[in-house]
Amino acid sequence: MSNFPENLPLEALPLGAPLPDWNGATIPARAPIRGKFCVLEPLEMRHGAALWREIADFPQLWHYLFDGPFARESEFCAWIQAQTERDDALFFAIINRAGDVLGLCSFLRIDAANGSIEIGNLLFSPRLQRSREATEAMFLAMKTAFDNGFRRYEWKCNALNAPSKNAALRLGFVYEGTFRSAAVVKGRNRDTSWFSIIESEWPALKRAFESWLDERNFDENGRQIQKLSALRR
């Protein structure tokens, strides 16, 4: 049903901005993404044992994820194998400069035709959390998405997952709302909070990340001098 006059010309209707040059985005390649402090390597079975050593004693890391926790390394590695075979998501291991496998993340809901992509399946070991590597890993994934022509970069999490929501805001995502009763996860209701960054916001955000990741922004003990939130402002 429309309240507009029947003969109203098309150019007078409130429509979205035209995108005459839009030809879609490019799906990210299954290739390493290298930074100063870490590298995102396409997930392979060889990463499984090393990552298990980092997370085996911390089942709470799986609390808000769709899968896990796992009782044995063999179960975890079987899960890793399954993720490497998916054609609807692209998983990466997060590895520091010393070669330690500290976590993983993935691109999912990849919609190249409309230019939308999501970062998800974030599994950060205690050593990765609140580190330069963690922030850079998120920057590298974000940069890859926008360099490949995506217009919208999404972050979604359980609405009760306060640390994830705070992380999204710190990284520059904009809260869009909560989808109520969006899923049933591990036998419990999940309301899902949605966040995004769009292409017009990316240039300023990229500059803030690059300034934060500059070696000069850290003291001799590796502590940040300026916060990312301050640089974003």
Nearest to 36 by CA among 227, 159, 216, 164: 216
User: The tokens of 62 are what?
Assistant: 């799986």
Answer yes or no: is pLDDT of 97 > 90. yes
**Rounded CA separation 95/84 (Å):** 17
CA distances from 229 to 46, 120, 170 (A): 36, 22, 6
Give per-residue pLDDT as tens, 129-185.
Answer: 999 999 999 999 999 999 999 999 999 999 999 999 999 999 999 999 999 999 999
Answer yes or no: is pLDDT of 4 > 80. no
Answer yes or no: is pLDDT of 116 > 60. yes
Q: How confident is the model at residue 8 (pLDDT cuts 50, 70, 90)?
A: confident
Answer yes or no: is pLDDT of 37 > 90. yes
Mean residue pLDDT across the chain: 95
Q: How confident is the model at residue 233 (pLDDT cuts 50, 70, 90)?
A: confident
Q: What is the pLDDT of residue 222?
A: 87
Domain residue ranges of the chain, discontinuous segments joined by +: 28-232
CATH of domain 28-232: 3.40.630.30
Give per-residue pLDDT as tens, 121-140.
Answer: 999 999 999 999 999 999 99
